[in-house]
Amino acid sequence: MKKYLLEKLPSHFIILSTIILVVIVFLVLYGNTTMINNIYKQRLEITKLKEEISNLKKILTEDLQMNQPQEDFTKIYDIPVGSSAVKGPQDAPITIVGFLDLECPYSARFQPIIDQLLKTYPDKVRFVAKHFPLPFHPNARLAAKVVLAAGKQGKYFQMQEAILKNNRSLSEEKFLKLAKELKLNIRRFKKDLSTYDTEWDNLIESDFQLGTSVAVMGTPTYYINGRKTRARDINSLKQEIEQLLK
């Protein structure tokens, strides 16, 4: 009897093992199929959600365009110079007013074109610098105060140029380094930043409010004799200036 059971055991074991294996394979395949179906359903839902978001964006954009008044680029604004820094002759027939954010990459890109324009028309054009620090640039307001402090020592535009040359990683340490490179009196520089802090905050805020009132929507924004210009290259700017000089 024992011999019989021992002879039959391998056969029963193989059958049992086969059944277990089939069950395991079925469960795995069924589980994978369910998982694949769930993933497929999730992807469909995500695709549908993306389409809904895209359609919503289109509707909002169209609604914005319909409700937003078209800007009149022929309008001439009265933009007082006030106490702003001026580069060029006071009696120049052409005045370019620029609203800048010194941490803005576009201000850094386009301001050198304005500087080139001043060199082209040394007796005809002057530039008036206005502050328009955007709220999402954390160092823009301090940068504005730094150029004002440099201005106390006669180097407003030199500091402005130095900041705009590399305005990606602005910090107090970098401003101090630039002040040393411009050979400013560092003790006075620091003292002026502290002494005039509130006054310059008010000045910067005044410029910002002025910019808002004359339809500044971003930086840089330039006005030639009070008229907002869309020109951003030297040749287009020259054409506008030549037209005004006729």
Q: Read off the pLDDT of residues 46-78 as tens digits, 9 standing for 90 and up.
A: 777 777 786 666 665 555 545 556 788 889 999
Nearest to 229 by CA among 84, 86, 94: 94
The CATH class given to the 86-245 domain equals alpha beta
The residue ranges of every structural domain in the chain are 1-68, 86-245
Question: pTM of the entire structure?
Answer: 0.72
Higher local confidence (pLDDT), 7 or 246: 246
Give the residues across from 126 on adjacent strands: 95
Nearest to 231 by CA among 241, 218, 244: 241
Nearest to 214 by CA among 128, 94, 111, 91: 128
Q: Read off the pLDDT of residues 98-140 as tens digits, 9 standing for 90 and up.
A: 999 999 999 999 999 999 999 999 999 999 999 999 999 999 9
